[in-house]
Amino acid sequence: MTKHIKNICCIGAGYVGGPTMAVIADRCHNISVNVVDINKDRINRWNNPDVSQIPIYEPGLSDIVLRRRGKNLHFSTSLKENIAKADMIFISVNTPTKTKGIGAGKASDLKWVESSARQISKFAKGFTIVVEKSTLPVKTAQVIKEILESSKKENHNSFSVLSNPEFLAEGTAINDLENPDRVLIGGDDQQSIEQLSNVYLNWIKKEKIITTNLWSSELSKLISNAFLAQRISSINSVSALCETTGADIKEVSEAIRTDKRIGKYFLNPGPGFGGSCFKKDISNLVYICDYYGLKEVSAYWQKVLDINNWQSERILNIIVKNLFGTLSGKKISILGFAFKANTNDTRESPAIKICKGLIEEGALLKIYDPKVEEFQIEKDLGQPQLIKNDNNSGWNFSKSLLDSTKSADAIVILTEWLEFEQIDWEEVAPMMRKPSFIFDTRGISNINDAEKYGIKCWRIGSNLNNKYYDK
C-alpha cells in the first residue's frame, strides 16, 4: 500500500520554493510543510508578522501565507532537523549559469544542488523521496543519486529520486500552481511517483499528471522554456521587419494567433525576454548540445539568445538616434524596471542593459516601477543614484509616474504594468519638456492619444513614426 506523505521539507525559500510550498500547504492541511533556507534574512522576511513584507511579491501569495503560516507552513533555517523528519524533500535551490571554470557562461552551476544533496544524505532518516524541483540539466538525477547513495550505509538511510520541474511564471505563480496545465513527474520508482501524485491529487485532476522517465522530465523543462523563448525571439525579429516595411506587429500577431496550430500566447513583442531562467536555461541547452557534439542544434538555439541581445541593443540605438544622437543634458523617464509586470523581480531584466546604455550616453534617468525597490535598482545598475537632480548623467528613483515624467524629454516604457497602459496623456504631456518623445517598447500605450497632445511616438513593431526615426 502506498504510504501517505505527512511531512515535506523544501530546500530553498525563493521564487519557486516559497510559492509552491505555500500552495501545497494551502491545499493539503494534513501535510506539514517546512521551507528551509541558508539565507537568514530571507527566512526572517518570510516570518515577518506583516505579510506585506514577505520577500516575494506575487498576487495572492500573502493571503495564503497569512492563512497557513504557523499552522502547517513553516519557514526556518534549521536544515538538519527538518530534513531528518521529512518523508519527502524538494530541492528548490538556485541553478544559475557558471561564471568560471569549464562551461563558464553556459553550463548550469550545480554547487547548490550538490550541497543540498550532501545535506540530505547526511541528515535524512529512513526512506526519503527526494524531488528535483529546480531546473536541471538532463542526467542530473544521476549525480544526486550517487551523492545520496555514497553514505547510506553509515547513515542508515535510503532514497528514491524524482524529477518534478516547475512551470510557474512569475506574476501569475499562484494561479499557475493552483491550476497548472500539467504536472510532470519523472522517475523509475512507481511507488514514489504515486506518493508525489497523491500530494497533487488533493487539488489537481489525474489527467493533468504526466509521468515519464527521469531524463525526459528533466529535458522537458529545458525544452519548454526554450520553445517559449524561441517564440519571443521570433516575434521580436518580426517587430524589426514591421518597422521597416509598414506592416504592424499588432496586426500581424493578431492574424497569426488565430491559427490554432500557432496558438495565441507569447506573441507580444518587447525589449527582449528577461527573468532568471530563459537565458540560463537556453545557454545550458546550448552547452548540452555542444557537449554531445550536436553543433547544428546548439547553433539553432544560440540564435534565440542572439536575437534577444540584438533586440535590446536595437531599441537603445533607436532611442539615442531619435533624441538627435545625444542624450547629454536630457532627462528620460523610465517606466518599469521589472523584467515583466506583476513582479518585483529584476533578474536579467532588459531594463538593466537599456538603462546602463542610456546613462553611458549621458542621460539622467528618472526610474519608476510600481514594485521594484530603490536598493535593487542601485544593485542592478552598479551605481548609486545622484544626490541632486543636476545635469550629470546617472539615475534617480521616482516614487510615482508623475514624478518620473515631470520635465522629461522622453518616456521609455520598459515593463507592461497596467498603470502604463492607462497613462492620462492630457495630464502628462504638458509637464514634459518640448519636443517630447515616447518610446513604447511593449506596445501598450495609447499612442494616438499621446500624439494628440504633441508627443512624438515610437512604438515597437510599427513604422507609424518612421518620420522621426532616421534609419
* Residue 200 contact, options ligand NAD, ligand UGA, none, Cβ 5-8 Å cut-off depending on partner type: none
Q: Nearer Cβ to ligand UGA, position 103 or 272?
A: 272
Sheet containing strand 183-186, strands side by side = 73-76, 32-36, 7-11, 88-91, 126-132, 157-163, 183-186, 209-212
Task: Determine which residue in the list 26, 170, 248, 409 makes contact with ligand NAD, applying CB under 6 A.
Answer: 170
Sole residue written with cell 493552483: 178
Cell of 279: 537565458
Cα gap 170→341, rounded to integer Å: 9
Q: How far is the CB of 273 from ligand NAD (least distance, A)?
A: 13
Count other C-beta atoms under 10 Å from residue 140's C-beta.
24
Cell of 168: 510557474
Q: How far is CA 442 from the centre of its chain?
A: 17
Cα gap 214→140, rounded to integer Å: 9
Sole residue written with cell 538532463: 138
273 binds ligand UGA (CB under 6 A): yes
- β-pair partners for 440: 413, 459
Q: Which of residues 133-152 bind ligand UGA (CB under 6 A)?
A: 135
Please state whether the peptide bond connecting residue 435 to the residue before it is cis, i.e. omega within 30 degrees of 0. yes
Sign of the CA dihedral with 126 first, then 131, 136, and 140 last: positive
* Residue 39 contact, options ligand NAD, ligand UGA, none, Cβ 5-8 Å cut-off depending on partner type: ligand NAD
* Candidate ranges 32-40, 183-191, 208-216, 360-368; the one touching ligand NAD (CB under 6 A): 32-40
37 binds ligand NAD (CB under 6 A): yes
Task: Determine which residue in the list 103, 186, 187, 270 makes contact with ligand UGA, applying CB under 6 A.
Answer: 270
135 binds ligand NAD (CB under 6 A): yes
Strands, E assignment, 66-141: 73-76, 88-91, 126-132
* Residue 336 contact, options ligand NAD, ligand UGA, none, Cβ 5-8 Å cut-off depending on partner type: none
Task: Determine which residue in the list 42, 250, 456, 459 makes contact with ligand NAD, applying CB under 6 A.
Answer: 42
228 binds ligand UGA (CB under 6 A): yes
Q: How far is the CB of 146 from ligand UGA (least distance, A)?
A: 25
Do the Cβ atoms of 58 and 174 come closer than 8 Å?
yes
Q: Nearer Cβ to ligand NAD, position 120 or 316?
A: 120
Helix (H, G, I), strand (E, B) or coil at 454: coil
Q: How far is the CB of 88 from ligand NAD (least distance, A)?
A: 16
* Candidate ranges 86-94, 186-194, 327-335, 445-453; the one touching ligand NAD (CB under 6 A): 86-94
Q: How far is the CB of 275 from ligand NAD (least distance, A)?
A: 7
277 catalytically annotated? yes
Cα gap 18→10, rounded to integer Å: 9
* Residue 17 contact, options ligand NAD, ligand UGA, none, Cβ 5-8 Å cut-off depending on partner type: ligand NAD
Long-range contacts of 419-422 (CB under 8 A, 24+ apart): 419/370, 420/335, 420/336, 420/444, 420/445, 421/445, 421/446
Long-range contacts of 99-105 (CB under 8 A, 24+ apart): 103/287, 105/283
Q: Of 354, 363, 357, 447, whose CA–CA distance to 410 is shortest?
A: 363
340 binds ligand UGA (CB under 6 A): yes
Q: Nearer Cβ to ligand NAD, position 35 or 332?
A: 35
Task: Determine which residue in the list 277, 365, 408, 428 makes contact with ligand NAD, applying CB under 6 A.
Answer: 277
21 binds ligand NAD (CB under 6 A): no
* Candidate ranges 98-106, 122-130, 272-280, 357-365; the one touching ligand UGA (CB under 6 A): 272-280
Strands, E assignment, 244-379: 331-335, 364-368
Strands, E assignment, 321-422: 331-335, 364-368, 394-397, 410-413
Cα gap 51→175, rounded to integer Å: 19
15 binds ligand NAD (CB under 6 A): yes
267 binds ligand UGA (CB under 6 A): yes
239 binds ligand UGA (CB under 6 A): no
Q: Nearer Cβ to ligand NAD, position 17 or 103?
A: 17
168 binds ligand NAD (CB under 6 A): yes
Strands, E assignment, 133-230: 157-163, 183-186, 209-212
* Residue 270 contact, options ligand NAD, ligand UGA, none, Cβ 5-8 Å cut-off depending on partner type: ligand UGA
Active-site option among 9, 277, 355, 457: 277
* Residue 339 contact, options ligand UGA, ligand NAD, none, Cβ 5-8 Å cut-off depending on partner type: ligand UGA
* Residue 14 contact, options ligand UGA, ligand NAD, none, Cβ 5-8 Å cut-off depending on partner type: ligand NAD
Q: Of 191, 130, 194, whose CA–CA distance to 163 is shortest?
A: 130
Interface residues toward ligand UGA, by CB under 6 A: 135, 166-170, 225, 228, 232, 266-268, 270, 273-278, 339-340
Interface with ligand NAD (CB under 6 A): 11-17, 36-39, 42, 79, 92-95, 112, 115-116, 134-135, 166, 168, 170, 276-277
Catalytic residues: 277
